[in-house]
Structure 1
Amino acid sequence: MRTSVTELRVLRMALLAALGFDLAACADDSSSDDEGSSGSGPETSGEGESAESESGSTGSDAESGSAESDSESSSTDSADTETDSTDTGVDPYTCEDPQPILQAGTELPSGFVTCADGFVHRVEAVECAAPQPADDETCDGVVDAICQTGDDCTAQGYAACKQDMWGQCTCQYGCASDDDCDAGEICACAGVFDDQPSCIPADCTADAECGQGLCGLSKYEGCCDNSYHLACAAPDEACHTNADCGAGSCLEDVPEPIVDYQCSESEGAWTCGPPGWCGCDCGRPLMIDGQPRVAGPSRRADASWMAVGIEPELRELDASLRAQLAARWAEIGRFEHASVASFARFAAQLQALGAPPALLRETAAAMADEVEHAKLAFALAAAYAGAPVGPGRLDLRGAGVSARAQLVAAQIVDALIVEACVGETLAALEALEAARWAEDPSVRAILTRIADDELRHARLGWRALAWLLERGGDQLRTAASRTFTLTMAKMRAEPEAPPAERASSLLAHGHLDAALRQQVRARGLAEVVAPAARAALSPSTKIRAASLA
């Protein structure tokens, strides 16, 4: 992580200043935030664990070490118990009625089999009968596309030009055998999980490498698409299929919506957890019925949603990397576009509560910022894709504002904590970290601007929260404390994401891989969000009236 301790402290102090604290006092207390976040801040009146105690559990290295030590001690005791007894609490897994998965359009085995319960594992490596994916006819003749046919794609063999989920024509590559893939990958033939062969990450290549276990196919449902990898699954894993998992909260802020948890492998263990798309966000998401809502992608004939003068360096980028960058920036643009509606709803909610002029002015300015963020992101997406990109129509059904002020107050506090106090704060930190890695000056400048704007939006959220809590009394403060606790606990408990393809290349172009993103979020929660939450939840926190005029 390249963001420095000093930059984290500056970010924290900016939020405390937004809450009305004197900056000189913040400077005097800054070291105590780092060293004593296990309970030195103001107590909260939340139900269960407070935001203060939650932050204390993972605040400093010493505290996290203590927590880990307790966890390790507990797991060691558990391991000792298992050594003395053959009962692990989990019935050993057996693949019932295994059926071979055939290569698409053939009677040839793919090397994978599926069990009666749906668990898929690889028994052997085989040659793929159809290693060459077919070109998409819709790409032929498309002007300024990355490719029109597979002949335009030269990075690997078995190339095809296909339309991706964003409507862009990009290079995709097949394979005939594991030898066609990079080290640490295997070739999954057409029919295993897609209608074309592809190389996927693999910690094992066949069941024989897994002892008494099986070389299982793990599926991860991410923001943009599904990803797959192979990993050994021991007979006593916590799960083998989604049917072994129950349901739970998708998002970290509220108990709803409830989604079916999924079984996947991470860090050597098969466990249940929410699907990866539950955590899809960029800045302030538009939440409707507990789920983020964005417009669909659109290949536009005009350039109205693209900022002018954005020219990233393209000369040394292969077609595959350009396609990934185009997809990622298009996704960011869609979330920034939806943020405009989120702030519009926020403004209406504030007006329903009689908010002071400053909060409304800052909200209007934030809407304008998000329009520019979306245009910058779509401009980068278009530059990488070689074609205009923009948002489609945004479905706003269910996004209305309640007329009951008391209900609105509770909803605003809940949304502020998730979308602004936590979401915007971490978005600012993630953009700052991405800017530190970006090598392209154009991309670095855009990320730096986004980081500055997101910090200002976070300050707005914290100021609005303090104003609401000052008016709402202990009941609202208690609810806020509980939301902070649940939000931070859920984010800290997120499972490790699978390894990203070409992570270093994407990082050089301003996109954090999942592991670094989780590291940034953990630091941000412990060193920025938690201290600010303790300050905001303190009954003594008062927003200066002059700053709200």
Structure 2
Amino acid sequence: MSTVSRGRLCRLLVALMCACGPEPAGPGSDGGTEDASATASGGSGSTATTSGASGSTAAPTTGEPELPCVDPQPIFQRGGEVPSGFVRCANGIVHRLEVVACAVEGFGDCMSGNDECHSDVECDDAPHGTCHQVSFIGCVCNFGCGSDADCAAGEICACPGVLGKNHSQCIPAGCLDSSGCEAGLCALAAGGSTQCGALAVAEVACIDASSPCLVHEDCRHLPQNQDCGSCWPQDGAWSCGTLEGCGVNC
């Protein structure tokens, strides 16, 4: 075979090899280029599945801000170091950390000895009876509690010492303790009086960082009586108002 014939034969073989080889991957082909592009851009490749799985493992949120209690200091039951279940946070919030039973009995503060009673021993119609001054002319019996079980539905027992008083008292409650408040604390609102000092006005309810007020001091801007501004739960939401019984002269 001549040199020219061999050259033509070689060129023919090369042309046949190119025609039979794989085509380069391009748009719309089944090659790996489009898959890689889809993965990088979050398209219809495998990334969509991975992204969905990653999203489903994220920790769920309630949408409400957290409210921690910094440097909690225990509030003890009257006359000792028995925890009351309530603690005071550094920012002034008092909340019910846990449910406890009262370990001490209360006592009254009757001075005039008129009306219902002269002393605690006369308040024996029910357990935990104490005799209290309600005005300068008379005293009445107050029947407290030893635990939440002694209170009506929707109330908890504040042991002697919790409300700054020497006796226990059932108070309205929107929560039992702070473990029942997902994003906040089972906070105590207290102060004032419905009977000029005999019974504290008090209530516990869940509070979180989105509340417009956290403690009474946040509400001292009220123009009508700055000393009586209070942070209080109203229909489940905390807001500023006037402390009930504040400024009453008995």
TM-score by length of 2: 0.64
- Equivalent residue in structure 1 for 2:142, among 172, 175, 182: 172
> Which protein has the larger Cα radius of gyration, Structure 1 or Structure 2?
2
Residues 1:91 and 1:242: Cα distance change in structure 2 (over 3 Å): farther
Q: Partner of 1:101 in structure 2? A: 75
Residues 132-151 of structure 1 aligned to structure 2 (within 5 Å): 133-136=106-109, 138=111, 142=113, 145-151=115-121
Residues 1:275 and 1:127: Cα distance change in structure 2 (over 3 Å): closer
User: C-alpha deviations, 1:439-496, integer Å up to 9, x for none?
Assistant: xxxxxxxxxxxxxxxxxxxxxxxxxxxxxxxxxxxxxxxxxxxxxxxxxxxxxxxxxx
User: C-alpha deviations, 1:88-128, integer Å up to 9, x for none?
Assistant: 9x975332111111112111110001001210000111121
- Equivalent residue in structure 2 for 1:116, among 66, 69, 90: 90
Distance, in Å, in 2 between the alignment partners of 1:91 and 1:137 is: 46
> Is 1:198 aligned to residue 182 of structure 2?
no
Determine if contact 1:160/1:172 at 8 Å carries over to the other structure. Answer: yes
Distance, in Å, in 1 between the alignment partners of 2:143 and 2:176 is: 20
Distance, in Å, in 2 between the alignment partners of 1:268 and 1:275 is: 17
Is the helix fraction higher in 1 or 2?
1
Distance, in Å, in 1 between the alignment partners of 2:158 and 2:232 is: 18
Residues 6-405 of structure 1 aligned to structure 2 (within 5 Å): 92-131=66-105, 133-136=106-109, 138=111, 142=113, 145-193=115-163, 194-219=165-190, 221=192, 224-225=195-196, 226-250=200-224, 261-277=229-245, 297=250
Report the Cα offset of residue 145 of structure 1. Answer: 2.9
Determine if contact 1:247/1:260 at 8 Å carries over to the other structure. Answer: no
Distance, in Å, in 2 between the alignment partners of 1:232 and 1:101 is: 19
Distance, in Å, in 1 between the alignment partners of 2:79 and 2:231 is: 29
Determine if contact 1:112/1:123 at 8 Å carries over to the other structure. Answer: yes
Distance, in Å, in 1 between the alignment partners of 2:244 and 2:110 is: 32
Report the Cα offset of residue 214 of structure 1. Answer: 0.8
Residues 503-542 of structure 1 aligned to structure 2 (within 5 Å): none
Residues 1:276 and 1:213: Cα distance change in structure 2 (over 3 Å): same
User: C-alpha deviations, 1:408-459, integer Å up to 9, x for none?
Assistant: xxxxxxxxxxxxxxxxxxxxxxxxxxxxxxxxxxxxxxxxxxxxxxxxxxxx
Residues 428-467 of structure 1 aligned to structure 2 (within 5 Å): none
3-state SS of the aligned residue for 1:247?
coil
- Report which structure shows greater RCO (CA 8 Å, sep ≥6): 1
Task: Give, as a single letter, the amino acid of the residue that structure 2 aligns with 1:170.
Answer: V
Determine if contact 1:213/1:232 at 8 Å carries over to the other structure. Answer: yes
Is the strand fraction higher in 1 or 2?
2
Distance, in Å, in 2 between the alignment partners of 1:92 and 1:135 is: 40
Distance, in Å, in 2 between the alignment partners of 1:223 and 1:199 is: 14
Task: Give, as a single letter, the amino acid of the residue that structure 1 aligns with 2:84.
Answer: S
Report the Cα offset of residue 153 of structure 1. Answer: 2.6
Q: Sequence identity, in percent? A: 38
Residues 1:155 and 1:183: Cα distance change in structure 2 (over 3 Å): farther
Residues 1:165 and 1:115: Cα distance change in structure 2 (over 3 Å): farther
Task: Give, as a single letter, the amino acid of the residue that structure 1 aligns with 2:175.
Answer: C
Report the Cα offset of residue 235 of structure 1. Answer: 3.0
Q: Partner of 1:305 in structure 2? A: none
Determine if contact 1:98/1:113 at 8 Å carries over to the other structure. Answer: yes
Q: Partner of 1:354 in structure 2? A: none
3-state SS of the aligned residue for 1:97?
coil
- The alignment yields a C-alpha RMSD, in angstroms, of 2.9
TM-score by length of 1: 0.31
Report the Cα offset of residue 136 of structure 1. Answer: 4.5
Distance, in Å, in 1 between the alignment partners of 2:81 and 2:66 is: 32
Report the Cα offset of residue 152 of structure 1. Answer: 3.0
